[in-house]
Chain A
């Protein structure tokens, strides 16, 4: 996989990567995922796939006709989109055996799994991560060969530690979407129940606030330890002049920094939202338990054009700053220093190179040249290399003036000198010339 994001994106665009999953497709995948999970299946026979599709069809689209045919299309569609992979390699010899791809599993897990970050899951993950890093540090201390570094430091950092850190990040994103849901729920509760929803809203606010505060505390404490351990591993790698482990540690440190920054940023953002909602509940909802103010204000706006009133506000003008007094300044006339502009002219070689072109062209014609290319080839050797390009144009000009030229619709390109080509003209025989 190219590491450069632009190249990666260009490659995706070139391959026209896209996903087009209908509800039925997603339900089919989810059904397969759950079945594989419960029955510990590694793959599915074709009949099992079709059977599952029919079951899903009964729920999602009960009136659908020819479900077997639809199942065949659905399987092909999912294979085209790399959601299902055939794993038996038997071709047409017998019916296939299929498995869900990593992509399909990820899509289904996104919709099924409840992976928001909680204090328990975070403490467990950070504890495991800490133990893993301590082990890697011990291995780094023992490592003497490049292979030992690769096997006991780089590999666990990339795979085990990478997965754990990725797990925390994934759960952070889960919590982000949970927060959005809480915000939407608070708005919905107030919309439906107004004053009756105040306590429920307050409790939702407090729960999320506590969760965020706890998570941030754990993150602050543990990320500090992770970075200390990682820096120690990095120092050992640097001492042993092992560039690959050093780089692997650096990547994990950056990942850990990102996790720590998430905690602070989310707590700040939530704190602003918390204050806003708190003020709203206190100043708007509690003071207007019947929600009559909105209705009265709506009527006020609608009737305003017929019974207008205007708020008054202070409007002291800005202090006027006068310009400092300046006496009239005489501006000097624009002048430039006198110089002697009547210098002696320079002596240069005369530019007479083109004067004899016409003679040369006539000479070439007399010698039997039958095309622009032949005439040009005949004339050019008489001139120095730096003038040949300009002379080529003048030859064409002279030729056009003193003779009649003919040209095909597609004029062929011909080489007349090194790195010089002309679009050729044919010339009439001698008797036909002007």
Chain B
């Protein structure tokens, strides 16, 4: 027996929340409790929307942490894999989400603290090389600036995807959807087995990301100036 207040799919998609929620989900956003009525709508319409999205070749996923997202399994709906920057920043933020120190401020963290944590976890050199795999030589100042640029870009995209909220220039609010980054280590089973299970369910891909050129991605996403410090350096050097 269904507990939904919607009697049919037609009623569910006639609801005023549907267009906004549908567009958000198709763009990869994780809709959580913090989204208020949009989340309540998804809880209510879940029984009707699950088969609806399955016809587009994707699963409407609901997690116990309190969020929804759309997981495409075929080619009918576009999908993308998160970049190295987004993955590193996302996992570090998930770690900070678990830290009781974050609890004191109601889930708010400073961007500066994130950078310190990232550098502490990976070491500066590994961080720089992971975020700039194509660059061989590094000037310390340029490398630091590039890391900050990449992290800022990753944060902007993670905000769009509903993993975090950007409160202001200095503060971020962490959302439960960050726990997706902790999925491979969530249970006590072998991590490799967990990764294989997640690959089978279409949650993740393994190996190096096929990353597009930065400027292409910037153009595609928002048309903002994709110039980076690295670009400037290269131009300056001829």
> Which A residues are in CB contact (< 8 Å) with B180?
311
Q: Are A316 and B81 within 8 A (Cβ)?
A: no
Q: Are B28 and A297 within 8 A (Cβ)?
A: no
> Which B residues are in CB contact (< 8 Å) with A111?
none
> Which A residues are in CB contact (< 8 Å) with B209?
308, 310
Query: Does A186 have its Cβ within 8 Å of any Cβ on chain B?
Result: yes
Q: Are B77 and A316 within 8 A (Cβ)?
A: yes
For chain B, residues 87 to 134, give those with C-beta under 8 angstroms from any C-beta of chain A.
87-88, 90-92, 94-95, 97-101, 103-107, 121-122, 126, 129-130
Q: Are B122 and A302 within 8 A (Cβ)?
A: yes
Per-residue interface assignment for chain A, residues 314 to 352, with 1 indicating a CB less than 8 Å from any chain B CB and 0 otherwise:
111110000000000000000000000000000000000
Stretch at the interface among A4-12, A63-71, A152-160, A270-278: A270-278
For chain A, residues 273 to 321, give those with C-beta under 8 angstroms from any C-beta of chain B.
273, 276-277, 279-280, 283-284, 292-294, 296-302, 304-305, 308-318
Q: State the CA gap A305–B100 with chains docked (Å).
A: 26
Closest Cβ neighbor of B63 among chain A residues: A283
Q: Are A187 and B95 within 8 A (Cβ)?
A: no
Closest Cβ neighbor of A185 among chain B residues: B104
Q: Are A304 and B95 within 8 A (Cβ)?
A: no
Query: Does A210 have its Cβ within 8 Å of any Cβ on chain B?
Result: no
Closest Cβ neighbor of B81 among chain A residues: A310
For chain B, residues 1 to 47, give those with C-beta under 8 angstroms from any C-beta of chain A.
25-28, 33
Q: State the CA gap A277–B106 with chains docked (Å).
A: 7
Take A305-B130, A311-B181, A312-B203 as given contacts and tell me if A300 and B191 are in contact as well, using a CB distance cutoff of 8 Å.
yes
Q: State the CA gap A310–B79 with chains docked (Å).
A: 12
Query: Does B213 have its Cβ within 8 Å of any Cβ on chain A?
Result: no
Q: Which of B80, B88, B98 contacts A304 (CB 8 A)?
A: B88
Q: Are B98 and A311 within 8 A (Cβ)?
A: no
Take A297-B185, A311-B90, A311-B203 as given contacts and tell me if A284 and B122 are in contact as well, using a CB distance cutoff of 8 Å.
no
Pick 21 A–B contacts, CB within 8 A, sort by A: A183-B105, A191-B100, A272-B106, A273-B106, A294-B95, A294-B99, A297-B91, A297-B182, A298-B121, A300-B191, A304-B130, A305-B130, A309-B198, A309-B205, A310-B83, A310-B205, A311-B81, A312-B81, A312-B203, A313-B161, A315-B27
Interface residues of B (CB under 8 A from A): 25-28, 33, 58, 64-66, 69-72, 77-84, 87-88, 90-92, 94-95, 97-101, 103-107, 121-122, 126, 129-130, 161, 176, 179-182, 184-186, 188, 191, 195, 198-199, 202-209
Interface residues of A (CB under 8 A from B): 183-184, 186-188, 190-191, 272-273, 276-277, 279-280, 283-284, 292-294, 296-302, 304-305, 308-318
